[in-house]
Copies of this chain bind each other. A is one copy, B any other.
Amino acid sequence: MYNFFAGPAGLPAPVLRRAQQELTDYAGTGMSVMELSHRSPWFEEILHRAGAALRRLMQIPPAYHVLFLQGGATTQFSAVPLNLLHRGAAAYLDTGVWASKAAEEAARFGPVRILASGKASGYREIPDFGALAVPQDLGYLHLTTNNTIYGTALHALPRAGSVPLAADMSSDILSRPYRVEDFGLIYAGAQKNIGPSGLTVVIVREDLIGRAQPHTPLMLDYAVHARAGSMHNTPPAFAIYMAGLVFEWLEAQGGVAAIDRINEAKAQLLYAFLDSSSLFRPHVQPPHRSRMNVAFGLADPALEARCLREAEAAGFQGLAGHRSAGGLRASLYNAVPIEAVQALADFLRDFEQRTVTSA
């Protein structure tokens, strides 16, 4: 079985085995992690270890809080303007449906400007923002670093000067090196590169918080969570435990620099096949390509459907493209081994040969 789901997605096999082994007896307590009080020393250590490991992996400077929250990236679409829109307008790069939903929600809490949009290309291109003059009176500039649906990614950041960048990194956090200092805020739903769904990681610079809009619900105020070390109320304990195991697995792989090389090799392997294929067509041109989500299709919809059916029968799960984009999509998050990508390329090559021969 090969898991290519776009999220929730595959987890590292050793992490799942360890979770299974400890599920009814964590660290000799005779209790499951799910049964531990969040105020117990065991859980406090789990929380501390997860935070420390993430800080090491991303080299997060002390001026940034690491928050383990709930509600997914969609909750952050509200929390970001409620916490960060202290002045002027918020600016958004419109690189897809999620970026666009984030902007739409922000517009309920303050003025929003779309600085650039890829909509005209069906979001198969990242709009060119290299020459963009970012007005310096903006509250923040929001961007989505990787666009799961279309298989596109930003490969550079806008030069925003003193305007803080706020990034939705849900689908490429920890897959490649980012300088946290380049951002005012980073958020990510866990269910792609971090752990199970139900956990949202927020990394936010200390000076940006503590000035939430007056009607901000308490649990959407970053300052509340920062003060309480993510324990203002009962946190999603098991998801944090799983994230901690994933972080430690990633460190054992050699950290972000090492997984970056593996992710590059995985993506190159699949794109190289697609580029050489006479049957399959990658949706995205090289400068805009995501390494996490590889989107492609076939000219003939009936053949596309057959390919998906045969792939599923052969054990490849989650290859159907997002309903709004169609085609096929292979999500190659950190936990997807290169062997799975090789198997997929082999399957597609075989499908092509059979199809071309029979045609």
Residues of A within 8 A of B (CB): 1, 3, 5-11, 13, 16-17, 19-20, 23-24, 29-32, 34-38, 40, 70-75, 77-79, 82, 105, 108-109, 189, 191, 195-199, 214-215, 217-220, 232-239, 242, 315, 317-318
**A1 vs B32: C-alpha distance in the bound complex, in angstroms?**
12
Q: A23-B23, A34-B242, A198-B235 are in contact. List 4 more A-B contacts (CB 8 A).
A: A40-B317, A70-B75, A71-B71, A236-B236
**A315 vs B31: C-alpha distance in the bound complex, in angstroms?**
11
Contact of A8 among B30, B38, B72, B220 (CB under 8 A): B38
What is the distance, in angstroms, from A318's C-beta to the closest C-beta of chain B? 6
Contact of A196 among B9, B19, B238, B315 (CB under 8 A): B238
List 18 contacting pairs A-B, 8 Å CB cutoff, sorted by A: A1-B31, A5-B37, A8-B38, A8-B234, A11-B32, A30-B315, A34-B196, A72-B233, A73-B233, A74-B218, A78-B220, A79-B217, A189-B234, A197-B236, A198-B198, A198-B199, A217-B220, A236-B239
Are A78 and B218 touching (Cβ within 8 A)? yes
Residues on the B chain within 8 Å of A7, using CB:
37, 234
What is the distance, in angstroms, from A334's C-beta to the closest C-beta of chain B? 13
What is the distance, in angstroms, from A202's C-beta to the closest C-beta of chain B? 14
Residues on the B chain within 8 Å of A36, using CB:
5, 8
- Asked whether A198 and B239 contact (CB < 8 A) given A31-B1, A70-B70, A215-B215, the answer is yes
Residues on the B chain within 8 Å of A13, using CB:
24
Are A3 and B35 touching (Cβ within 8 A)? yes
Are B71 and A219 touching (Cβ within 8 A)? yes
What is the distance, in angstroms, from A239's C-beta to the closest C-beta of chain B? 6
Beta-carbon nearest neighbor of A24 in chain B: B16
Residues on the B chain within 8 Å of A16, using CB:
23-24, 32, 34-35
